């Protein structure tokens, strides 16, 4: 098992965000995390990537060892995170930001190797960020910045990639492009992707398994084709919906209608 999570709690300003969450995640799958605003779906990936620590109790086991026992450098070779928001006010170029993904592998006071430079170039070409590699990150649009941060995480080349609404600033073309890159990498190298989605239909197309959350708890977890149904949508979001297989998408899709 890749992650074994036991009785996890997290509170923020006395408000319970994660409430007795237990979950096991296998390697080599694309997981989608879905739920209403404030349900804990962003806090959850922060906890399993050690961006936050459990506030009260609980245990996160990664590859058979408590995640608390991993050093920051060791974990940076295991888990890469694309955050929902990325703020930086320093005048780094886009290429310098992407190169930061190689820092866990570069000895201190050493320059990037030719292999590091070649890998950065490859990922920037694939993600379409090479077109503004010499521009300052502060000069880019929010969508362009997010693509740069996405490229940085891919360059990090870790077994686990966590996406926290990582396509929220993308148009549909770049969303499809980035999710296809992630999926291809996961399939070819057996990597694990854990992605927080707002768009249920996007999650249904790309994810092997879905994790539905509400009020800090897991409501349902399992293969997308099994757990994505109208009853779960109603339980999690308190709305009525129709769920059916869409041949063009090659996956189940959810449709809604306006209420009087």
pLDDT tens for residues 183-228? 998 888 999 999 999 999 999 999 999 999 999 999 999 999 999 9
CB 234 within 8 A of CB 254: no
Torsion-angle region of residue 28: left (phi > 0), alpha (psi -120 to 50) or beta? left
161 occurs within a structural domain: yes
Task: Supply the CATH number for residue 94's domain.
Answer: 3.40.50.300
Measure the CA–CA gap between 94 and 65, rounded to whole angstroms. 35
CB 61 within 8 A of CB 69: no
pTM for the structure as a whole: 0.95
pLDDT the model gives residue 53: 77
64 occurs within a structural domain: no
Q: How confident is the model at residue 260 (pLDDT cuts 50, 70, 90)?
A: low
pLDDT the model gives residue 112: 95
112 occurs within a structural domain: yes
145 occurs within a structural domain: yes
Measure the CA–CA gap between 228 and 208, rounded to whole angstroms. 11
151 occurs within a structural domain: yes
> 142-189: per-residue pLDDT in tens?
999 999 999 999 999 999 999 999 998 899 999 999 999 999 988 889
Q: Structural domain tally of the chain? A: 1
235 occurs within a structural domain: yes
pLDDT for residue 54 is more than 80: no
Q: What b/e string do you get for 95-127 counting C-beta neighbours within 10 Å, with b at 16 or more?
A: bbbbbebbebbeeeeeeeeeebeebbeebbebb
Q: In 101-142, where do the E strands start and end?
A: none
Domain encompassing residue 35 = 29-51+71-255
243 occurs within a structural domain: yes
Looking up tokens 């999690």 gives 236
pLDDT the model gives residue 85: 77
Q: For residue 29, give the nearest of 233, 176, 223 by alpha carbon.
A: 223
> 232-258: per-residue pLDDT in tens?
999 999 999 999 999 999 999 999 998
39 occurs within a structural domain: yes
Q: Which residues contact 18 (CB under 8 A, 6 or more apart)?
A: 8, 9, 10, 40, 43, 44, 47, 54, 58, 216
DSSP string, 42-77: THHHHHHTTSS--SS--EEEETTEEGGGS-HHHHHT
> 69-122: per-residue pLDDT in tens?
999 999 999 999 998 877 777 889 999 999 999 999 999 889 999 999 999 999
* Residue 82 token pair: 């694309």
């Amino acid at each position: 098992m890749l992650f074994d999570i036991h009785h996890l709690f997290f509170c923020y300003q006395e408000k319970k965000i994660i409430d007795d969450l237990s979950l096991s995640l296998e390697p080599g799958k694309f997981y989608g995390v879905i739920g209403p605003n404030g349900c804990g779906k962003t806090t959850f990936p922060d906890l399993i990537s050690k961006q936050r620590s459990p506030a009260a109790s609980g245990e996160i086991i990664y590859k058979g060892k408590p995640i608390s026992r991993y050093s920051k450098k060791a974990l940076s070779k295991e888990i890469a995170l694309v955050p929902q928001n990325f703020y930086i006010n320093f005048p780094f170029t886009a290429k310098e930001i992407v190169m930061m993904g190689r820092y866990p592998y570069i000895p201190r006071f050493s320059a990037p190797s030719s292999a590091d430079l070649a890998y950065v170039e490859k990922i920037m070409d694939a993600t379409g960020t090479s077109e503004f590699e010499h521009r300052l990150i502060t000069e880019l649009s929010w969508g362009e910045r997010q693509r740069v941060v996405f490229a940085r995480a891919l360059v990090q080349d870790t077994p686990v990639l966590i996406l926290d609404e990582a396509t929220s600033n993308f148009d549909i073309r770049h969303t499809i492009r980035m999710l296809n890159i992630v999926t291809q990498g996961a399939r070819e190298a057996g990597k694990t992707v854990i992605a927080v989605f707002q768009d249920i239909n996007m999650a249904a197309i790309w994810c092997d398994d879905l994790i539905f959350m509400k009020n800090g708890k897991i409501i349902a977890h399992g293969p997308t084709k099994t757990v994505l149904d109208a009853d779960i949508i109603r339980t999690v979001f308190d709305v009525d919906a129709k769920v059916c297989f869409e041949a063009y998408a090659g996956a189940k899709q959810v449709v809604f209608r306006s209420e009087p």
